[in-house]
Structure 1
């Protein structure tokens, strides 16, 4: 997972995997990278802009645990 703005910028550019699904908003400097664990899906991760990546990560962890 990446959340800080400099790391987010790197994952939007030279670290990006062309197979990834990205939902980006240019005015939001932070993002979250969520690994896709489905062996049938060639998408390595979903990368989504969010103002609060820590809260989104916590929510996804809570849903996975339920």
Structure 2
């Protein structure tokens, strides 16, 4: 009976799993193109370029 379990999981992945992944994809796309997302995306893109000291180290002298 292991093939029955496999067939059930495959049927689920082919139907509801596809809808679930499509919903996640649409949510991410909506999150990225919503009004006001541009400024937070630009701020996140600048994080590696900021020249700030880490908070857990003492400042250099």
TM-score (norm 1): 0.27
Q: More helix by proportion, 1 or 2?
A: 2
Q: Larger relative contact order (C-alpha < 8 A, sep ≥ 6)?
A: 1
TM-score (norm 2): 0.28
Q: More strand by proportion, 1 or 2?
A: 1
